[in-house]
Chains A and B, each alone.
Chain A
Amino acid sequence: MVEMTITAAPKVVEPTIFDLSSPGRKGVTFPVPDVPRSELPASLLRADLPLPEVAEVDLVRHYMHLSKFNYSVDGGFYPLGSCTMKYNPKINEDTCRLPGFLFTHPLQPIETVQGNLSLMYDLQEWLKEISGFAAVTLQPAAGAHGEFTGVLIMRAYHRSRGDHKRTKMLIPDAAHGTNPASVGMMGMQVATIPSDERGNVDLQALRAACDDTVLGMMLTNPNTLGLFDEHIEEVVRIVHESGGLMYGDGANLNALLGILRPGDIGFDVMHFNLHKTFSVPHGGGGPGCGPVGVAAHLVDFLPSPLVGILEEGNDETPPLFGFVTPPNSIGRMKAFHGHFGGGMVRAFTYIAMHGPEGLKDISQYAVLNANYLLARLRDTYRVPFDRICMHEFVAEGQFKGSDARALDIAKRLMDYNFHPPTNYFPLIVHEALMIEPTETENKDTLDAFADALIKIADEAKNSPKLLHDAPITTRFGRMDEVKAARELVLCCWLPEDYDHP
């Protein structure tokens, strides 16, 4: 974070859409009504609609200019740990825009949307098979929304058994921030469990925290250090023995396709991130899609509705798909059925094209790429938990005798035309750089990235100013974040004299 003392008016690189507006300009217009006009209720009308007035060509150029300010997976390597920024296949963009998907209304009679329902049913079945769970809901809108769904299900399970005292959720110190926040939304307590010296859950601390107030444990495995917990079955056993349930944060599922099914080793609930593992694009921050899988004893608590078979088919007729409501459902998590077009259709396309062997290849090569980068970098960057990693690993972005920090390394990487890794997360590593290459990067890209990081390490020791000043080759430099938070300019408007120049 930098604070600057610039007093001159800031230079405008790209005007806002409001800046571009000129009274009387028109963009898209609509036909005149083909029905008689009705009288509008004068007392209920708004006086003015202060929206911009631009021509379509101005609009297109504006957004084209803006697009060029963005780094993207289509543009380069994006090793953002924990976010799985893999290549997004172009075919997904076509399948999700087929007219039969785009132009169907969520409340149409089920007989008219059997295609959509069969796709949702198959996707539920496929995700069950991939994860080893008994049932899957597709409704949650994103990973954090899936987590919230899962925590509500765990709570409902205990309460259905008359067990109201379970209000404590165990969460490792390496967990994503959404885990404790999801618990906080329920008004429940978080007990933080430390990691041991090999990056596993500290079993002694876990045993000490386990009692009859434990709702369950939220665990990311592989964890946010990119390490597979070496005592995972023991962790599950300890939590289950206390009466708690195991929640799996599926953010790191890209390491496990065809490698391990979390349901097989005793996880009770898990959310998927279709926008990480199954190639739904991240869209500059959404929409995501966060289905939740549960073991048999939790099926009755899933959010309503689920897609089921209402009438079995036979050789001549296909089954009739429709919606079913689980008997003890926690309720509805959002309006309608979830992120069908943008999430489910893309993920369905992706899984269909990979098949069982292709899915296993995804995880094997994601893990290969991460270990290759780790092997290339471990002599230059300290890796605090150094063993074979899964799909990502965490290095320290600091060097003895240099005041350059992880943030500076991240910014300097931009000068080498790479997106930085996640930094300052997980919180248990100082100056963390969390690197997740994904399976879709080739060896040349990984080598170029490793070379850049090695060079930056040298710069950090010998010419740290290069790092403090970085980035210098990008269109924008570092930001004054203090000014943004202090002045809180959150909107732009049409000028006050807009109509009266």
Chain B
Amino acid sequence: MTYIPHSPQERDAMLNTIGVERLDELFEAVPAAHRFPKLNLPPALTEMEALAELSEIAGSNENVRGDLISFLGAGMYHHYIPSVVDHMIRRGEFYTSYTPYQPEISQGTLQAIFEYQSLIAALTGMEVSNASHYDGATATAEAVNLAHAQFRGGRKRVVLSPAIHPHYREVVRTYTQGMDLETVGDDAPDPKSAPETPLDLVDETTMLLIVQYPDFFGRIYDYTKVIEAAHARGALVGVVANPTALALFKTPGEMGADIVVGDGQPLGIPMWYGGPSLGFFATKKSYVHKMAGRLVGETVDSRGQRAYVLTLTAREQHIKRERATSNICTNQGLLALASAVYMSALGKNGMKQVAELCYHKAHYASDQLNKVKGYQAASREPFFHEFVLTCPDPASQVNAHLLEHGILGGYDLGQDYPVLKNQLLVAVTEMNSKAEIDALVEVLSEVKHG
């Protein structure tokens, strides 16, 4: 089935106007030897058949809304998404429009992004936010680009905490491989050392220190003094933050951060096997000219009405080409809208409720697991909705056993940190009932260790 509306008569009339007889005459500039290849693809399906096939593919997965109990987080979280979010982003006026280059007929998208920027600024405690990046990892890499632009290449060192999401650290290294930078800190022998440890590596050649809050292991830490000390050495500080936590805890802005980035997936975006989500990026107003990505600003139209436009576009690739701050072209427009609807639908009250539910449930899980013989939940330090569980056996074995009981136990930290092979990163959100947590505890209590 195709979506081509032409009748044969209309097609022929159009060919006649063009002055050719057949469609294939339009392709004579294409090298004849390679023209019209036969594609070896499955035959076309009707809509009915396609839905059946896709349903079968989707159904062959085990999902976390019925098939499995999940304590898996590690950068992507199973949260409740109110119905209103999808209803709003399914409006054709939103999802079938393009980047708002023509502001007169794109005020819906522009005002929605402006409000998204405002909500992110309020949540992070920062002065400005852009219209979003691809995800938390690429937003983190763009933080390096900002710092690089700020020091005009004069400082070469980037210090990464080892307690930043491993994928984010990898992406920073991928992005910067042609930039002649020195990236240090993330190979520390003890990845769970005190959160301020990376500060030791910040010197007068350092352009940026990046830490995570709560960190990859779920720990909440007040970085105010770390940030002060890094600033004293002239470096900027970027904080990778979990937006759910920010509804409850002191903001990176309050701690003095220069850049706050993170993944917006917890804000009303489905896990969708890893994407798309969005990367939020907030900073101080003084760095706005060095920031990549789309930016919406308020103005007035010719009729004296309040309106919004893409602004500071001179930073961007279509104007500046190879001297642009980044090559980024799209943002995650529709998902920025989804997260704005989510933050507004929950509002001050609901956002805080979700964060508190995650906090209480994770602490309950941690307390109960601590009582299981052989297991120890790291709960001496403050943590939020994710914690490290030290197991008597390799985490991979523990997970395999839990899976037999229909439970995704958590993230096996040994995959990224060989020294942590017996440690499991357990995430608990408002979606996990007490009964689910008790089931996890019960299955682990029954394990015989060998």
Contact = CB atoms under 8 A, between A and B. Distances in A.
B194 interface: no
A420 B165 contact: no
Contact of B430 (A30, A60, A88, A229): A30
Interface in B386-422: 399, 403, 408, 411
B271 A103 contact: yes
A353 B248 CA distance: 47
A382 interface: no
Contacts of A109: 399, 403, 408
Interface stretch (A203-211, A238-246, A370-378, A454-462): A370-378
Contact of A69 (B78, B108, B270, B298): B108
A69 B137 CA distance: 33
Contact of A144 (B327, B361, B408): B327
A478 B301 contact: yes
Nearest to B304: A6
B137 A334 contact: yes
A113 B93 contact: no
20 contacts: A10-B300, A12-B305, A35-B360, A40-B248, A44-B250, A51-B123, A51-B347, A59-B344, A63-B91, A67-B108, A70-B109, A103-B78, A282-B96, A282-B97, A288-B330, A331-B170, A352-B54, A367-B23, A414-B105, A492-B118
Contacts of B125: 46
A402 interface: no
Interface in B323-341: 323-324, 326-335, 337, 340-341
Given A284-B94, A492-B118, A337 B274 contact: yes
A17 B120 CA distance: 13
Interface in B161-186: 165, 167-168, 170-171, 173-175, 177-180
Interface string B33-68: 011111111111111001101111111111111111
A431 interface: no
B374 interface: no
B6 interface: yes
Nearest to B297: A484
B376 interface: no
B450 interface: no
Nearest to B323: A184
A14 B177 CA distance: 46
Given A30-B357, A108-B68, 4 more contacts: A11-B305, A94-B51, A105-B76, A143-B329
B352 A49 contact: yes
A336 B73 CA distance: 12
A187 to B, nearest CB: 5
Given A104-B61, A362-B4, A368 B11 contact: yes
A477 B344 contact: no
Interface in A48-84: 49-54, 56, 59-60, 62-64, 66-75, 78, 80, 83
Interface stretch (A125-133, A291-299, A309-317): A125-133
A115 B347 contact: no
A365 B14 CA distance: 11
Nearest to B343: A51
B280 interface: no
A96 B304 CA distance: 42
Contacts of A451: none
A374 B39 CA distance: 29
B119, B171, B271, B320: residue with the most chain A Cβ atoms closer than 10 Å: B271
Given A34-B434, A184-B323, A414 B102 contact: yes
B76 A331 contact: no
A486 B112 CA distance: 21
B31 A66 contact: no
Contacts of A425: 318
Contacts of B51: 91, 94-95
A410 B102 CA distance: 9
A114 to B, nearest CB: 6
Given A70-B107, A186-B178, A188-B178, A483 B299 contact: yes
A351 B93 CA distance: 24
A26 B110 CA distance: 26
Interface string B213-255: 0000000101000000000000000000000001111110010
A33 interface: yes
B98 interface: yes
Contacts of A53: 347-349
A314 to B, nearest CB: 18
Interface string A423-462: 0010000000000000111110000000000000000000
A152 interface: yes
B15 interface: yes
B119 A177 contact: no
A106 B78 CA distance: 11
B433 A260 contact: no
A63 B134 contact: no
Interface in A191-230: 227-230
Contact of B54 (A331, A345, A388): A345
Contacts of B178: 152, 155, 185-188
A114 B61 CA distance: 6
A489 to B, nearest CB: 4
A42 to B, nearest CB: 10
Contact of B107 (A69, A87, A119, A182): A69
A264 B39 CA distance: 12
B72 A287 contact: no
A489 B298 contact: yes
A324 interface: no
Given A332-B171, A364-B26, A419-B102, A88 B96 contact: yes
B271 A11 contact: no
A160 interface: no
Nearest to A366: B4
A181 interface: yes
Contacts of B303: 11, 476-477
A480 B300 contact: yes
B199 interface: no
Nearest to A273: B330
Given A26-B349, A491-B128, A287 B335 contact: yes
A95 B51 CA distance: 7
Contacts of B61: 100-101, 104, 112-116
B17 A376 contact: yes
A479 B309 contact: yes
B13 A38 contact: no
Interface in B420-435: 430, 433-434
Contacts of B57: 100, 115-116, 118-119
A356 B38 contact: yes
Contacts of B309: 479, 481, 484
B296 A2 contact: no
A495 interface: no
A334 B171 CA distance: 6
A184 B321 contact: yes
Contact of B93 (A70, A103, A387, A474): A70
Q: Which 3 A-B pairs have the closest CB atoms?
A: A341-B272, A100-B58, A355-B44
Contacts of B128: 490-491
A142 interface: yes
A338 interface: yes
